[in-house]
Structure 1
Amino acid sequence: MVDTSAISATQAYSKSMANSASGKNSGTAVGTDEVVNGQSFAEMLSDASGAAIENGVASEQVSLDATTGTAGLADIVTAVSNAEATLETVVAVRDRVIQAYQDIIKMPI
Structure 2
Amino acid sequence: MTESLVSSNAALGAYRLSQGLRTEPGAAPATGPAGADFADMLAEAGANAVERARSAEAVMTEGLAGGHSTQDVVQATLSLESTVKVTVAIRDKLVEAYQEIMRMPI
Is the pair's TM-score, using the shorter chain for normalization, greater than 0.5? yes
The whole-number CA distance in structure 1 between the counterparts of 2:87 and 2:56 is: 16
When the two structures are aligned, how many residues end up with a matched partner?
89
Normalising by structure 1, we get a TM-score of 0.69
- Which stretches of structure 1, 4 residues or more, deviate above 6 A after TM superposition? none
Q: Larger relative contact order (C-alpha < 8 A, sep ≥ 6)? A: 2
Could you tell me how far 1:69 is from its partner in structure 2? 1.3
Q: Tell me the percent identity.
A: 31
Structure 2 residue aligned with 1:8 = 16
The whole-number CA distance in structure 2 between the counterparts of 1:66 and 1:12 is: 27
Residue 90 of structure 1: which of 87, 92, 98 is its match?
87
Amino acid at match of 1:99: E
Q: Give ranges in structure 2 of 5+ residues lacking alignment.
A: 1-11, 32-36
The whole-number CA distance in structure 2 between the counterparts of 1:41 and 1:81 is: 28
Normalising by structure 2, we get a TM-score of 0.71
**Please, what is the CA RMSD of the aligned residues?**
2.5
CA separation of 1:6 and 1:104: change in aligned 2, threshold 3 A:
closer
